[in-house]
């Protein structure tokens, strides 16, 4: 999958619409916490669109939740709006609700899809349980229904202690699904419901790096053998920077101050992953806000998130990495943790692109802060 957004050259922004706080799964680490039952109204979505367009040049809309497909009428409305105004439309879903008929409709909407999948059957069902059902089988059925319409999806895997030593299994599984074009590995964040499962954060950095490296290698090797393109998204972003001689100015839209995330009540956050933190609420779309004030609050929220101290001494910080996810930095600091695990994850991406950096032991002279 080609990198569709390049916040390192951010001149435009993204609106995240959290169209549903409800979900049909009970994921152990959902950052929405225990909130259930909230569906965004068309009026709130419209006000969110107007608010975003007053702050930056809107480029894309991301639909999220909860499970966004529980608010299908609003998705239809947003899809029509995006089509009329030439906006890119994306959605993150667990795919369990995607029937053949819905897959056909999603194709007509022109939505780019990301599907949440954390491993093979036992792992995924444990982390993302479905009451009286098998979430793994239903997610695969949804992926295959999308595949039946010729739609490509990207997988998003939340990396936790439950799966971090077996990431290669997901790469092998993905290689067997013709509808999958790429994988994103996101480290679990200590917020929302995840705080009730502290064991999920206990990971050995060395094991994480070895497991991720094997997964990356398997992804590209199996892609080569099958003749079907499948990539690791962050590898491709870094590769793009390398090949085009660019430096990475920002990690993400939040880092660049070019993102609004709006929940079903109209509350505004700089990132959906920070919606569990009241102090990160920067306004409400149903209340009049001057664009200058909102822009200032976005910058203040980014400053509040803070930085990871090791980035200052890493020669790859500005050129390739961009540092840890700002929401990750903030949520971990709130729990007395640092971002060494995400640093290990991102070092592995850099080492894959630069094999001469990889060593069998923990010592390095490359400038990578181990």
Enumerate the H helices of the chain as residue ranges: 42-55, 72-85, 100-109, 121-127, 135-148, 167-175, 205-226, 233-244, 253-256, 291-305, 326-334, 340-353
The structural domains of the chain, with segments of one domain joined by +, span 12-370
Please tell me the CATH superfamily of domain 12-370, with its number. Aldolase class I (3.20.20.70)
**H or E stretch at 181:** strand 180-187
At residue 7, the pLDDT reads 47
Task: Say what percent of the chain tops pLDDT 90.
Answer: 78
Q: How many CA atoms lie within 13 A of 56 on its CB side?
A: 21
Position 153 pLDDT exceeds 80: yes
- Per residue in 24-54, pLDDT (tens digit) is 999 998 887 655 558 999 999 999 999 999 9
3 — pLDDT class (breaks 50, 70, 90): very low
Position 235 pLDDT exceeds 60: yes
Q: For helices 100-109 and 72-85, give the axis angle rounded to 10 degrees.
A: 30
Mean pLDDT of the chain, nearest integer: 90
At residue 37, the pLDDT reads 59
Residues 6+ apart with CB under 8 A from 328: 187, 189, 273, 339, 342
* Residues paired with residue 14 on neighbouring β-strands, in sequence order: 60, 259
Got the DSSP string for 306-351?
---GGGGG-TTIIIII--S-HHHHHHHHHTT--SHHHHHHHHHHHH
Position 362 pLDDT exceeds 50: no
- Per residue in 167-219, pLDDT (tens digit) is 999 999 999 999 999 999 999 999 988 999 999 999 999 999 999 999 999 99
| Residues written for the chain | 370
- Per residue in 94-114, pLDDT (tens digit) is 999 999 999 999 999 999 999
Residue 167 and residue 369: Cα distance in Å, rounded? 23
Nearest CA to 144 out of 186, 173, 108 is that of 173
Residue 52 and residue 262: Cα distance in Å, rounded? 10
- Per residue in 264-282, pLDDT (tens digit) is 999 999 999 999 999 999 9
Residue 159 and residue 140: Cα distance in Å, rounded? 19
Angle (CA) 166-114-69 rounded to 5° is 120
C-alpha distances in Å from residue 314, one per residue of 329, 343, 367, 370: 17, 10, 6, 10
10 — pLDDT class (breaks 50, 70, 90): low
At residue 315, the pLDDT reads 81
Position 2 pLDDT exceeds 70: no
Residues 6+ apart with CB under 8 A from 341: 187, 203, 205, 208
């Amino acid at each position: 999958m080609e990198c569709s957004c390049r916040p390192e050259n951010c001149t435009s922004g993204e609106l995240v619409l959290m169209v549903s706080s409800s979900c049909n799964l009970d994921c152990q680490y959902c950052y929405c916490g225990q909130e259930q039952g909230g569906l965004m109204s068309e009026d709130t979505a419209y006000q969110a669109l107007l608010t975003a367009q007053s702050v930056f040049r809107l480029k894309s809309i991301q639909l999220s939740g909860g499970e966004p497909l529980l608010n299908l009428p609003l998705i239809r409305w947003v899809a029509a709006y995006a089509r009329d105004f030439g906006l890119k439309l994306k959605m993150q879903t667990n795919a369990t609700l995607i029937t053949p008929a819905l897959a056909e409709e999603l194709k007509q909407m022109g939505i780019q899809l990301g599907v949440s999948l954390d491993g093979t059957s036992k792992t995924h069902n444990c982390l993302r349980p479905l009451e009286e059902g098998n979430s793994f089988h239903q997610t695969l059925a949804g992926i295959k229904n999308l595949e039946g319409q010729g739609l490509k999806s990207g997988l998003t895997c939340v990396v936790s202690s439950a799966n971090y030593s077996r990431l290669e299994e997901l790469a092998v599984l993905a290689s067997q699904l013709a509808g999958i074009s790429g994988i994103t590995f996101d480290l679990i964040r200590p917020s929302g419901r995840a705080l009730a499962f502290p064991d999920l954060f206990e990971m050995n950095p060395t094991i994480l790096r070895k497991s991720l490296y094997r997964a990356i290698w398997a992804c590209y090797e199996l892609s080569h053998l099958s003749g079907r393109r499948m990539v690791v998204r962050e590898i491709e972003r870094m590769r793009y920077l390398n090949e085009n001689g660019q430096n990475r100015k920002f990690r993400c839209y939040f880092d660049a101050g070019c993102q609004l995330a709006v929940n079903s009540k109209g509350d505004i956050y700089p990132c959906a992953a920070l919606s569990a933190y009241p102090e990160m609420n920067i306004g409400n779309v149903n209340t009049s806000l001057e664009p200058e004030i909102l822009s200032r609050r976005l910058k203040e929220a980014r400053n509040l998130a803070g930085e990871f101290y090791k980035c200052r001494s890493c020669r790859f910080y500005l050129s390739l990495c961009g540092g840890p996810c700002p929401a990750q930095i903030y949520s971990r600091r709130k729990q007395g943790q640092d971002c060494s695990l995400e640093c290990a994850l991102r070092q592995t991406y850099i080492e894959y692109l630069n094999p001469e950096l990889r060593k069998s032991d923990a010592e390095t002279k490359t400038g990578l802060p181990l």
